[in-house]
Structures are given as C-alpha cells and as structure tokens.
Amino acid sequence: MASETSLRRLALALSLFLLIVSSLIPHRVLAAPLAETPALPDLTSFVSSVENGQSNTLRGVYVDGVFALPVIQQPSTDALYVSTAIGTLTQFELAARHGNIGLLAHDYLSGQYFSQLALGERVSLVYGKGRIETMQITKVYRYRATDPYSTTSDFTDLDTNQHLTDYQLFSKVYLGAEHATFQTCIEQDGNLSWGRLFVIAEPDTSQASSTQ
C-alpha cells in the first residue's frame, strides 16, 4: 500500500493537474452541441472499431444513447496530458497506478457528455482484444474549488456542502475498491477552473464481463 506521503504527492500532482487542464488551450474549440451528436454505432461495431490486439489496454468506452468514445493512454511521464482531439477520452495514469480507471476530458470537448450520465446507467469498457467490462453509474459528485487558481485548493461538495482537502478528494474519487471515474471541469461565470465533476461507475455484478 502506498504511504500517506506518496499519496499526498499524488494528490498535489492531481491538484496541479486540475488547475492546468482548463488552461491548456488558449483558444477553446467548441464541440458540437449534444443535440447534434451523430447517431451512435451499436456496441459490436464500436468494439470492432477500437480493437488493437492489446488485451490489457482500455481502448474505448460505450454508453448506450450517450456516447461511444475511443480512449487515449496518458503518457506515464506526463500526468498533465489530456487529449485535445474531439471525440476522445484520456486514461488517467495516476489512477491506474492504484488499480482504478480514471477517464479525463475537457468540459468543452468529450467532457460535455459526463453530465448526461445517470445513476444506474451501464457503461461498457472495451479492451484491445474485444473484452467488455460492464460497470454501472453509482455516484455523481460536483465540487467547487474554494480557490480555483491555487494548486492546493480545497473543495466543497455542491450537494452536501462537505469540505475536503485535495488529498481527501483524490482519495475519495480515485482510491479504494475497483471503479472507474469520469472527470471533467465545471465552468462557472467564465471561470474554467471553478469546479470539478466526478462520475463514478462500479462493476455491474448482474452482468459478467464478456471475453473474446
């Protein structure tokens, strides 16, 4: 198990990351409105489109009626990297180190879809050899950064008013039992770093993962 010191170091990196992801692009490229999103492929077609033969590599995420998005791996040496390609997600390497899945996207690109994920909705994680792991949305967290421009800002839960440090927030959304976390920023009054949205999906025990 990682020491508290190492976790605090990771949390600090996360805080820095949370600040920077909103300001990586000086000129924002707006994604198409949700209403104009093209019809989604069926799951079988999507699996075929993202397969690459690497059995342990997460290649795509499919949510029926919401999105079908390929996943780009974050470089192990660059915890600040988030893809700027339209229609992609980025897997968060720091989360992977702790055995969980983090899926990142800018709120004006693929992150716009995260707010459409509803409790109970099924999520299909697609791996490189066609294996599908089914998860279910179980929690949605919305936080306001108490100091949006600080790399060590604390956070306030918009629903419960609970106050968390950066370390506590990192632990809550990325550590613990197996799960996947969708993360994007919440913009408010032109402030791109105003808040954070986390959507948690846990293994759907009612459906076994399929293998190919």
- Binning pLDDT at 50, 70 and 90, where does residue 18 land? low
pLDDT given for residue 22 in this prediction: 44
How far from 54 is each of 4, 65, 74, 86, 127, CA to CA, in Å? Answer: 33, 27, 16, 23, 7
CB 147 within 8 A of CB 154: yes
d(CA 81, CA 90): 8
Backbone angles phi, psi at 45, to 5 degrees: -65, -40
Average pLDDT, integer, range 26-51: 73
SS3 190: coil
Reference 82, options 113, 110, 62; nearest CA is 110
Confidence band, pLDDT 50/70/90 cuts, at residue 208:
low
Cross-strand partners of 141 = 198
pLDDT on residue 3: 55
* CA geometry: angle 168, 194, 154, nearest 5 deg: 25
Residues 6+ away with beta carbon under 8 Å from 77 = none
93: exposed, middle or buried (Cβ count in 10 Å: 0-12, 13-18, 19+): middle
CA distance linking residue 59 with residue 51, whole number of Å: 7
Q: Kindly list the structural domains of the chain, giving each domain's residue range(s) and its CATH number in brackets, ordered by start.
A: 4-203 (2.40.260.10)
DSSP, collapsed to helix, strand or coil, labels residue 172 as helix
Give the rounded percent of residues in the chain with a pLDDT score beyond 70.
Answer: 79
Rounded Cα distance between 104 and 37, Å, is: 19
Reported as a single tens digit per residue, the pLDDT across 66-115 is 999 999 999 878 878 899 999 999 999 989 989 999 999 999 999 999 99
Do residues 129 and 212 make contact, with C-beta atoms less than 8 angstroms apart?
Answer: yes
> Where is 71: in which H helix or E strand?
strand 67-73
Q: What would the mean pLDDT of 109-122 be, rounded to a whole number?
A: 96
The three-class DSSP label of residue 48 is helix
Most confident of 3-7, 87-91, 188-192: 87-91
Tell me, what's the pLDDT at 23?
39
- Lowest average pLDDT, out of 16-20, 61-65, 196-200, goes to 16-20
Mean pLDDT of 191-195: 87
Res 17 pLDDT > 60: no
Q: Are 89 and 105 in contact (CB under 8 A)?
A: yes
Neighbouring CB atoms inside 10 A of 202's CB total 15
Average pLDDT, the chain: 85
Residue 75: per-residue pLDDT: 85
Q: Which of 4-13, 121-130, 164-173, 201-210 has the lowest mean pLDDT?
A: 4-13
